[in-house]
Structure formats: structure tokens, C-alpha cells
Structure 1
Amino acid sequence: MRSGFPDFRLGTVLATSFTGTLSERHGNAVERIPTPQRLIDWLAVYGLAVDSCTPAQLELARELRESIHAAATAAALQDPIPAAAVQVINDRSAQGRGAAILTAEGGREWRLGSASRLEDALGVIAADAISVISGERDGKLALCASPTCQAAFFDTSRSRTRRWCDMNTCGNRQKKARFNANQRKDPSSAG
């Protein structure tokens, strides 16, 4: 983590992890990519290294993030996906020139255009969002049960009954709050 910035909340699904760069949307929102350099840092963590990012490109990335959030939330609730969100996701996907590359170990990496353009990285994220929201991938979109978070996440658990976007943050916070509330109700149970 760069000094002075909140940690990234990393997940295994690129598109929903990207929406997590703004967390606690229904509480005290935490912006995890407040600067162009911070977006470059986040992209590098996901193997999407880009050479540069301008403030205008950061705004394009945030627009994509919010569009993915809106579309994923609608899909999780089985509501119609907002047309504006669909347009932004499709535009970013079409503008990117990233390609999936098979590694010698059998994994997947992304190769961006020759100039490592930010638009290529955003195209990869948009394409991932399309695969998740359209139902192409094995899993289910759900919303975090934390009242201050409510982030859309992609549940790949066997039962598809996960409640939290991240057990280490939202899940633990909710368990701790429940424990503290129970302690206040029954002080004799404190050990």
C-alpha cells in the first residue's frame, strides 16, 4: 500500500473487485483509487500494467466502475439493467484491445495493446463484467448483507449462499457488531 491510501480490497473476480475500489457506499464511502497513480497501482495488482493515467482517464475508469456497480446490482436484484450502464460497459469493452494469453502453466494473463493503454485495461474489466452480468460464468451475483456496504459480488461458493462481499471485512465487522450487541444484552456472559 502506498502511504496515506486505504488498502485495496482484492477479490478473485476482476469486475466486482474493481467496483470494490469504492467501498462502504451506504456508510462513510472509502475511495481506494483517489489518484491516477493509485489506479495504475490497482491495475498492476491484477496484471493489467499500464504506462500512464491522466485525471480524465481516472474519471473514465470511475464511470466504468459505477456502471458495473449499477448493472451488477440490478442483475443481483433481477431488475432491469440501466441503459446508461449498459452503454458505458459496452463502449469501454469495444474501445479496449486487450487479449487473453495462455501461460505455459495453463493460466490466463492479459496482454494489453503495444502502448499499454489504460483504455485497453478498462476494456478487459468491461469484458469481464459482461461475462459475469450476462451469466456466462458459473456463479451468482449477490449483494453484500452489510447495510453500509451492499456491494455486488460474484458468489462462486458451492451453495451460492454467501452473505458478505468479503468475510475478512464486512463479514467480520457484522459478526463483531452482533457479538458486542449480545454482550450489552447479557453482561454476565462476558468471559
Structure 2
Amino acid sequence: MRTGFPDFRLGNVLSTSFTGTLSERHGDPVERIPTPQRLIDWLAEYDLAVDSCTPAQLELARDLRESIHAAATAAALQEALPAPAVKIINDRSAQGRAAAVLTPEGARQWRLSPASLVEDALSVIAADAISILAGERDGRLALCASPTCQAAFFDTSQSHTRKWCDMNTCGNRQKKARYNAAHRKSPSRAK
């Protein structure tokens, strides 16, 4: 991992993890893919390795990220999906050349060719978002309970009642804040 950048928040769901490359959307936003190389690094974490990325491809990725976030947020709130977001997700999905392959363990994995482009990797992310938004997978879209985050995430817990996009960050931060508030001495009792 390259130093000088915020750590990636890596999750089990590709498309919602991708939306997490911009966190704290309602606080002080943290951009986790500020450079083309950083996008290459993130894609490699999800076995979607590409050799290069231009600034224009980085913008395509950010447009897809924001479109997935907008559509996932609408779905979590049980609102109509925004048409511009749906168009971008569909366009990115259709423009890639990735292939779904079956692993010996019986799992689906995406294969990019050695000459794959960022657009090919983005098509995989868009296809993942489509499968979630279309309700093809067991789980539900939800929004992080942190008032500064409110990231869309795909809740695959057995009860589908998860509250945080990431327990190690948002959940822990909120639990600490509640604990500190409950144990703070009131000014009248302090000497």
C-alpha cells in the first residue's frame, strides 16, 4: 500500500466498497482515490488489476462511484432510482470486456485480459451494482448510521439490521462518542 494516502476501506461487496473510496460524505470528505495510481491500487485489491489509468479514466471511475452511491442511497430509502445514475451504471457495465469465470471452488470470479483497461474493471463494478440494485442477491441496501458518513452499504448480516458501513471505523467512532457522552462529568459535579 502506498503511503501518504488514507487507507482503503475494503469490504466484501465490490460496488458498495467502491463507493467507500469517498468517505465522510456529510462531514469532512476523505477521497481515497485522489490520483490515477491510487485507483490502480484499489482495483488491484479486488483482483481487477490494470496497468495504467489516465486522469480521464479516473473521472469515469468517480462518476461511476457517485452514480452507484446515488442509486444505492435511493434504493436504501426506497425511492425511485435516479435516471442519470442508472444511465451511467448501465453505460459502464456495457462498455467493458471482462468475463465471468467459474473457479474450481464453484465461485464466480471476474477475469480481465492482460491488456485490460480501467473501463473493463469499471464494467465489473457496475455489473456488481446492477446485481445488488436489481435485488438478485440476499441482503439489503442500507445507509450508515453515522451522521457524518451515511455511506450506502449492502447488509448481508443474517438479521439484515446492520447499522454501520464499517464497524471498525464508523461503528467504533459512534460507540466511543456514546460512551464518552454517558461518562462525561457534568459541570456541576466537577470540582
Q: TM-score, normalised by structure 2?
A: 0.95
Runs of 4+ in 1 over 6 A off after TM superposition: none
| Aligned partner letter, 1:65 | R
- Per-residue deviation, 1:185: 4.6
Q: Deviation at 1:114?
A: 4.7
Unaligned runs of 5+ in 1: none
> Does residue 31 of the first structure (1) align with residue 47 of the second (2)?
no
**After superposition, where does 1:71-110 map in structure 2 within 5 Å?**
71-110=71-110
Structure 1 residue 105: Cα displacement: 3.2
Q: Percent identity?
A: 81
Unaligned runs of 5+ residues in structure 2 are: none
2:44 corresponds to 1:44: yes
Structure 1 vs Structure 2 CA RMSD = 1.2
Give, as a single letter, the amino acid of the residue that structure 2 aligns with 1:45: E
What is the CA–CA distance in structure 1 between the aligned matches of 2:50 and 2:102, rounded to whole Å? 20
1:134-186 C-alpha deviation (Å, 9 max, x unpaired):
10111000000000000000001111000000101000000000001011156
Please say if residues 76 and 142 of structure 1, whose CA atoms lie closer than 8 Å, have aligned partners that are also in contact.
yes
Report matched runs for 1:146-165 at 5 Å. Answer: 146-165=146-165
How far apart, CA to CA, are the structure 1 residues paired with 2:185 and 2:174?
17
Aligned to 2:70: 70
Structure 1-normalised TM-score? 0.95
Instruction: Assess if the C-alpha contact under 8 Å between 1:47 and 1:109 holds in 2.
Output: no
What displacement does 1:108 show?
A: 3.0
Q: How many residues align?
A: 187
1:7 is matched with: 7
SS where residue 76 of structure 2 aligns?
helix
User: Structure 1: which amino acid aligns with 2:62?
Assistant: R
